Structure 1
Amino acid sequence: MGYAGRHVAALLQSLGVVCSGTVRDVAATPEDGLVRHGWVPGAFGDHAESSRAEPGSTLREAVRCADAVLCTVPPDHGGDPALRILAAELRDSPALRWVGYLSSTAVYADRDGGWVDEQSDADAVDETARRRLLAERQWRALARDMGIASAVFRLPGLYGRGRNALVQLGEGRARHVLKPGLVFNRLHVEDLATAVVAAMRRAEPEALYLPCDDEAAAPQAVLAYAAALGGFEMPPAVAWDDLSLSPALRRFYAGCKRIDSRGTREALQWAPRFATYREGLQDAFRG
């Protein structure tokens, strides 16, 4: 129940759905009425202890009683560590009817500004994409074996209140990275939550969704808008391939693709409330 999971859970709770999730530190979580299950340190990640981690009895029971399970845990070298650890509880559940997995548009290779949609080949070959695709296949296989519905959400960069360019500028962490022609889509975390709930209600077998906003925008345009909105100075510009940037950041800025989410919107009867980064940043500024 991290950034994305908390928002999905909060929306479900507002609709009268009882839900719970895992957290690293129960003591540090807010008092919002959501039930949280602690998890042993290192259970999710590239650590030897991940293969030995044991879920607690309350988490086991929650999984066995759930009729829908959404995984937001990043993959590791073996795919999804949460599925690996909880496979028995999931397969033994008499109530489970739907599983969902939050993946990434990083599974698509560079399109040089071109478009991807639900029919596009997931053709990226780097390690990040390999792990994501393996985790996707594992969740689909579980659902197929159990005869239940499943959904994979391939997501662009998430943002919202508490995680956005305004926060980065205020904390001095914003990077003004320039690459000619680079644009990408984003998704407000509250719009992700509504898309996930719509997919739960639809409950189709092996569904694939690409929810996103209406405008693929340059990162410097988003940063400049946030700076003007919050009264911040723009950080110094740096080229996307400058060696002062981390390898992960250089990889992130290396590819350019636009997301066509019309298939997702039609299937889910869904549209983003925050159509562009402008509406999302305005909401964050007011909040």
Structure 2
Amino acid sequence: MGYAGRHVAALLQSLGVACSGTVRNVAVAPEVIRDAEAVLCTVPPDEDGDPVLRLLMKQLRDSASLRWVGYLSSTAVYADREGGWVDEQSDADAVDETARRRLLAERQWRALARDKGIASSVFRLPGLYGRGRNALVQLAEGRARHVVKPGLVFNRLHVEDLATAVVAAMRRAEPEALYLPCDDEAAAPQAVLAYAAALGGFEMPPAVAWDDPSLSPALRRFYAGCKRIDSRGTREALQWAPRFATYREGLQDAFRG
């Protein structure tokens, strides 16, 4: 189920919803899906789109119970805005391989829902964090990277806020819905790291420029683009707001936990 999936499942179960998930055992998945009313995919795509959908397409198409499908995508589908904004109406204009795979998987899930006449939701997400996955953990384990690119900021989303947004979308059950849940503050990565270091009593790692050859190509690509997310449309549609408004509240919760 992965990091995000476990949190969504925990929230659903706390609300009295029968919820289960599959990790690697494809053999049990058809049995689970046969009676499911809602299916959420949290698995990254490959070059052909969504591998889960390929494995379970027949069961999903044949299901008489299914009413809603959801797919966790990424704001990586938007090209660099040089600090500008993206919202639900923005063109998904990134052309790299990561974006191509994500957009293909989105189209595949929407096509399934359209063919069945059921609701679907795509969630384009910024970086997720929460207890067990945050800058405090990275600092404690010696894995934190102090990467600096002047002017770079981006939004984040606490995994528990993702879960409440997903549940709200399940309840709304609109056809071909698109959501961009995020926090209230696009912040520089070094600011987040510095706050975590002060909170946990850690030393800051040495600063490294974002285009330093010692960084992996994937990490350099991650820091190459700069965009802010305007989530007002998502918040209004879902009657949703993040509990963890900024990284500060999220890191404080992780520190206390």
State TM-score, norm by structure 2. Answer: 0.97
Q: In the alignment, is the contact (CA less than 8 A) between 2:126 and 2:156 conserved in 1?
A: yes
Q: Partners in 1 of 2:256 and 2:66 — Cα distance?
A: 39
Compute the displacement of 1:30 (Å).
23
Q: In the alignment, is the contact (CA less than 8 A) between 2:30 and 2:56 conserved in 1?
A: no
Number of residue pairs matched by the alignment: 257
Secondary structure at the counterpart of residue 12 of structure 2: helix
Secondary structure at the counterpart of residue 20 of structure 1: coil
Compute the displacement of 1:64 (Å).
1.0
1:54 match: none
Pair 260,84 (structure 1): closer, same or farther in 2 beyond 3 Å = same
Pair 275,27 (structure 1): closer, same or farther in 2 beyond 3 Å = farther
Q: In the alignment, is the contact (CA less than 8 A) between 2:148 and 2:208 conserved in 1?
A: yes
Compute the displacement of 1:22 (Å).
1.1
User: Identity over aligned residues, as a percent?
Assistant: 91
Compute the displacement of 1:28 (Å).
17
Secondary structure at the counterpart of residue 243 of structure 2: coil
Q: Partners in 2 of 1:179 and 1:226 — Cα distance?
A: 19
Q: In the alignment, is the contact (CA less than 8 A) between 2:30 and 2:59 conserved in 1?
A: no
Deviations, residues 56-77 of structure 1 (Å, cap 9, x unaligned): xxxxxx1010000000000000
Q: Partners in 1 of 2:239 and 2:224 — Cα distance?
A: 33
Compute the displacement of 1:23 (Å).
1.6
Pair 92,210 (structure 1): closer, same or farther in 2 beyond 3 Å = same
Q: Partners in 2 of 1:106 and 1:135 — Cα distance?
A: 13
CA RMSD of aligned residues (A): 2.7
Secondary structure at the counterpart of residue 21 of structure 1: coil
Pair 84,125 (structure 1): closer, same or farther in 2 beyond 3 Å = same
Deviations, residues 28-72 of structure 1 (Å, cap 9, x unaligned): 9999xxxxxxxxxxxxxxxxxxxxxxxxxxxxxx10100000000
Deviations, residues 199-229 of structure 1 (Å, cap 9, x unaligned): 0000000000000000000000000000000
Deviations, residues 167-217 of structure 1 (Å, cap 9, x unaligned): 000000000000000000000000000000000000000000000000000
Compute the displacement of 1:24 (Å).
3.6
1:278 match: 248
- The runs of 5 or more residues in structure 1 that have no matched partner are 32-61
1:3 match: 3
State TM-score, norm by structure 1. Answer: 0.87
2:30 match: 30
2:129 match: 159
Deviations, residues 73-119 of structure 1 (Å, cap 9, x unaligned): 00000000000000000011110000000000000000000000000
Secondary structure at the counterpart of residue 175 of structure 2: coil
- The runs of 5 or more residues in structure 2 that have no matched partner are none
Secondary structure at the counterpart of residue 245 of structure 2: coil
